Amino acid sequence: MGAMIPAGIIPILLWPVETPPLWWAAPLFMLGFVCVTNAVNLLDTMDGLTCVMTAASAAACGLMLASSGQPDLGLAALAVSGACVGFLFFNWRFIHPALIFLGDMGALALGAGLFVLAAHLAQNASSVLDYPAIALPILLVLVNTPLTMVIRVRKGVGPLSRSKDHISERLFRLGVPRWEITAWLGLVNLVAAAAGVVAWMATSPAVEVIALVVGIAPVAYLAWYSTSLKLPAEGTPPYVPRRICRIVTRLNVGGPSQQCVHLTNTLRAYGWETFLLAGVVDTATEDSMEYLAEQEGVEVIRVPAMGADPNPLTDLLALWQAYRVLRRLRPQVVHTHHAKAGTIGRLAAALANTPVIVHTHHGISLVDYFGRLKNAIFLAIERVAASVATALIAIGENDRADLIRLRVAPPERFVVIPLGLPLGKFADPAVPRGTLRSQLDIPEDVSLILFAGRLVPIKDVPTLIRAMMTVAGQRPNVHLALYGDGPLRGELEQLAQELGVANRITFCGTTNEIEKAYVDADLVLLCSKREGMPVVILEAMAAGRPVLSTNVGNVTNMITDGVTGRLVPAGDVDALADAMLEALTNPEATMAMARAGQQHVLASFSIETLTERINALYEAQIAGQPYADPLAKPAAEQAVPEEGVRVEHPAP
């Protein structure tokens, strides 16, 4: 009660003229003051909404006051507008919660200020049409409160009850994200406020009437639209439970594409409704795995503007396209793959208010791939995208350590979930041994080395060709089959000619049946400068073939040097050649490693294990619990390596 006495005095102190008010004017002024002040406060339901609307309303009042001979008040109104705009940097952050809030006191103060500005304008009204012009900058505020009360009465509850029936709350219950509601209501209010300025300054009654109609129409339509909505019951989540949208840049050849297609299919068995979003593969520059989606019965929803190369304009368009799809589907989980899709997809999911946002880092593309400036820019973008994700997946401990070192996100945000693929077809291929040798006309007594991958700089195929020259000099019965294509193919063919090993190397191009090639390989080789978790090594080990790889990325998750395969430093021609010779010279030890490797990858990297782990992560994220590997053995059950497991080999 003590607060009500000064509250009743404040409107009189703000009376806009020096002469005492008429007996009927003072109560009317007080009533208007209280109503508008509280109407603005009641509108403060979402981050940025009150400040967005007040900024436009106060600016309109300032222009109208300045034009009517009250420049001091006009400047004060513009100052309020500028303060609201400055406040928005902390109060309306789109993909992050607000840092600071207006609260009741802030919203009430802005409402009081707007009403006093309108009251001062009313003293300068020169015609009946000027009064609705004064009301236009705050018309949406004035309409919202009585409209809300009418809706509540029609529902059979009290007009002052707490049911969520404001225009903004009804749009949110429909599924419109909060930031978009703020933007739409702010735009409607801006149109009304601008129309009020035009009507106030117009000298022609016809122009004034037209301006009034233009200002009233969007407010009236918004009021009608919000009341005509068929809304779900209060408390219904703004997403569809157990619905996932998986987003990948494009379905080009590689592990991420395979993982996306297979997970979209296999998670259905866990009760998830799954969708796959992807850009378009440029088949003129790279090979496509669209066929895999068709084979698995996975329908791809296109994001046409999402391409491989960075382009600010098309990337913004892709962001809008992805956002519109997510707004329509309203998933509970969005899971992104690839750097481009990871950025666009996570930002779109944050804008769409998706509760669970997960991103898988398939290797680290934030270093070595570009120049220093581009690396710095992409790292900054990745940190922003990572800040909106609820979980970040590294496919190996090495990647997790690198991402933490790069300060992409705090350690607790990362989980390690290895790659998983359907490896059964490699362990039990339908094709007999000898098919590839027959195609390439390679006798059984010739050792066949297989490379499969894109012919791009990061794969470092020149080092392999130079090592092949050394190996061929010591073992005449050896041949290298290079599967894959890319921009460096011409240069690599020329290098093989220059080094005199062109007759020992066959460029086989691309294939959709690489499992047939594994069967005939005596050694499968990877020579990359950087990798995530290379699919070719997984597949070769599942096929029971000996493997040799550079020690990069998460290769050590699959290969224990001298136990399940061989590792050499990246870029070291001599070390690579020595390891190739050692593998070919000691076939029994090499095959023993291959058998151990096959057992390891089939147990740890199958699509079944990946699906179970990903499902466990989603369930933990929804429950707000930390992720626990469902396949991890208790410490007491974990096998302790026995002494002498490592296989030592004499030099060739």
SS3 string, 234-266, reads CCCCCCEEEEEEEEECCCECCHHHHHHHHHHHH
Instruction: Using the structure block, give the residue that is written with the tokens 């969005």.
Output: 334
Domain stops at, among 227, 256, 283: 227
Side-chain-facing half-sphere of 500: CA atoms under 13 Å? 6
Other CB atoms within a 10 A radius of the CB of residue 9 amount to 11
56 and 186 part of one domain: yes
Q: How far apart are CA 466 and CA 481, in angstroms?
A: 15
Strand partners, 393: 360, 415
Per-residue pLDDT reduced to its tens digit, 294-320: 999 999 999 999 988 888 999 999 999
Q: How far apart are CA 416 and CA 397, in angstroms?
A: 7
35 and 172 part of one domain: yes
Residue 590 lies in a domain: yes
431 and 450 part of one domain: yes
From the number of C-beta atoms within 10 Å of its C-beta (0-12, 13-18, 19+), residue 230 rates as exposed
Domain limits at 303?
240-416
Judged by DSSP in three states, 451 sits in: strand
Domain stops at, among 586, 605, 624: 605
* Predicted model pTM: 0.82
Q: How far apart are CA 171 and CA 127, in angstroms?
A: 37
pLDDT the model gives residue 21:
54
Instruction: Using the structure block, give the residue that is written with the tokens 């004060």.
Output: 76
Evaluate whether 366 touches 375 at the Cβ level (below 8 Å).
yes
pLDDT the model gives residue 633:
67
Evaluate whether 249 touches 306 at the Cβ level (below 8 Å).
yes
CA-CA distances (angstroms) from residue 383 to 243, 331, 338? 26, 24, 15
User: Which two three-digit tokens encode residue 572?
Assistant: 């070291």
Strand partners, 288: 252
Domain stops at, among 416, 436, 461: 416
Instruction: Using the structure block, give the residue that is written with the tokens 């956002």.
Output: 323
User: Which two three-digit tokens encode residue 98?
Assistant: 């607000």
138 and 257 part of one domain: no
Residue 442 lies in a domain: yes
User: What pairing do the DSSP bridges indicate for beta strands 447-452 and 523-526?
Assistant: parallel
Q: How far apart are CA 271 and CA 260, in angstroms?
A: 17
165 and 258 part of one domain: no
Residue 460 lies in a domain: yes
190 and 211 part of one domain: yes
Q: 524: part of which helix (H) or strand (E)?
A: strand 523-526
Residue 633 lies in a domain: no
- DSSP alpha helix (H) spans, 499-585: 514-520, 535-542, 573-585
Residue 233 lies in a domain: no
46 and 194 part of one domain: yes
Q: How far apart are CA 487 and CA 452, in angstroms?
A: 15
Strand order in the sheet with 300-302: 300-302, 273-278, 240-248, 331-337, 356-361, 391-394, 414-416
Residue 61 lies in a domain: yes
267 and 168 part of one domain: no
279 and 253 part of one domain: yes
- CATH number of residue 475's parent domain: 3.40.50.2000
Residue 176 lies in a domain: yes
Q: How far apart are CA 64 and CA 59, in angstroms?
A: 9
From the number of C-beta atoms within 10 Å of its C-beta (0-12, 13-18, 19+), residue 556 rates as middle
Q: Name which of 294, 354, 292 is nearest 323 in CA terms.
A: 354
- The number of folded domains in the chain is 3
436 and 579 part of one domain: yes
293 and 359 part of one domain: yes
110 and 251 part of one domain: no
Q: Name which of 183, 174, 169 is nearest 92 in CA terms.
A: 183
Per-residue pLDDT reduced to its tens digit, 434-447: 888 888 888 988 99
Q: How far apart are CA 132 and CA 207, in angstroms?
A: 14
Other CB atoms within a 10 A radius of the CB of residue 511 amount to 14
Instruction: Using the structure block, give the residue that is written with the tokens 């499969």.
Output: 452
Q: How far apart are CA 121 and CA 70, in angstroms?
A: 9
Side-chain-facing half-sphere of 526: CA atoms under 13 Å? 32
Residues with pLDDT less than 50, the chain = 1-10, 12-13, 19-20, 636, 638-652
Residue 235 lies in a domain: no
> Which amino acid, residue 382?
E
Instruction: Using the structure block, give the residue that is written with the tokens 């899971």.
Output: 335
